[in-house]
Amino acid sequence: MKVKNVGKTIVLLLLVIILTFLGLLWFDYLGVISAKTLFNPVYQMLGLEAHVSETVSSVDKLLEIDLDEDRFGKRLEELALRSEELDHREADISVQEAQITQITQELEDRRISQEEREKTFNNVQKKYDDRNVNIEKNARNLNAMPPDNAVAILLQMDIQDVIDTLRKVDEIAEAEGGSSMVSYWLQLMPAERAAEISTKMASKPLSLD
């Protein structure tokens, strides 16, 4: 009877040991406990690979979180500095654009002013050229007329036109080597008119226009 009890006890102990071993083996496989050094031969024999626990210590986790926060904070500071730098550059560019716009407007105003001056000068020059052409044409026509007819036309003209025409007659005569009719025409004019023309020709050698 005692032998039977001892046998049962041994069997129960073996069963407990086996169950305990299997329980430890299972918990280690699931990664709940770490006993890989003990059970590695068993895993290799069964062709199994134990799960690795991804749990980290709270201290390591806190350190990693702190490092991440530092990196994030530094990144935010860099972005803030970059944004400030870009704002300064944008402000400088805006100032430069305003200056360029002002200079461009000034140059455009100068260009327009210059064009207007050139246009005015060209108009004056054209007017002067046209007047010279007309004066020379009148002078040649008067030279071709009988003196009395020429004087009659001169007496109807404006005093300045008369002076310019008589000067042109003198120029043509000098250029062509002929004699000028101016003195003779003055003699045929009324004395007062002739005196006025002679005085103005002498005192104002240039055209009044």
pLDDT tens-digit map of 136-195 = 898 899 888 899 998 999 999 888 899 999 999 989 888 888 888 888 998 999 989 988
Give the confidence band of 62 by pLDDT, cuts at 50, 70, 90: low
- DSSP tag of 34: -
Q: Is 147 within 8 Å of 181 (Cβ atoms)?
A: yes
pLDDT of residue 8: 75
Burial 97-128 (b: 16+ CB within 10 A, else e): eeeeeeeeeeeeeeeeeeeeeeeeeeeeeeee
* Whole-structure pTM value: 0.43
Give the confidence band of 24 by pLDDT, cuts at 50, 70, 90: low
Q: Is 197 within 8 Å of 159 (Cβ atoms)?
A: yes
pLDDT of residue 207: 46
Alpha-carbon span 178 to 171, nearest angstrom: 10
pLDDT of residue 36: 54
- DSSP tag of 189: S
Give the confidence band of 29 by pLDDT, cuts at 50, 70, 90: low
Question: Of the candidates 103, 95, 171, which has an alpha carbon nearest to the alpha carbon of residue 132?
Answer: 171
Which regions of the chain carry the CATH code 1.25.60.10?
Answer: 132-203
Q: Out of 70-79, 88-97, 182-191, which region has the weakest mean confidence (pLDDT)?
A: 70-79
Q: Summarize the confidence of residues 10-39 as an average pLDDT.
A: 68
Res 209 pLDDT > 60: no
Share of the chain above pLDDT 70, in %: 73
Query: What tokens appear for 116 in the block?
Result: 């207007």
Q: Is 53 within 8 Å of 31 (Cβ atoms)?
A: yes
Q: Which CATH architecture is the domain 132-203 placed in?
A: Alpha Horseshoe (1.25)
Res 45 pLDDT > 80: no
Q: Could you tell me which residue, 189 or 29, shows the higher pLDDT?
A: 189
pLDDT of residue 37: 57
pLDDT of residue 39: 53
Distance (Å) of CA 56 to CA 38, 52, 60, 63, 100: 22, 11, 7, 11, 63
pLDDT of residue 116: 85
Query: What tokens appear for 1 in the block?
Result: 């009877």
Q: Could you tell me which residue, 36 or 134, shows the higher pLDDT?
A: 134
Which residues are CB-neighbours of 187 under 8 A, at least 6 positions away? 194
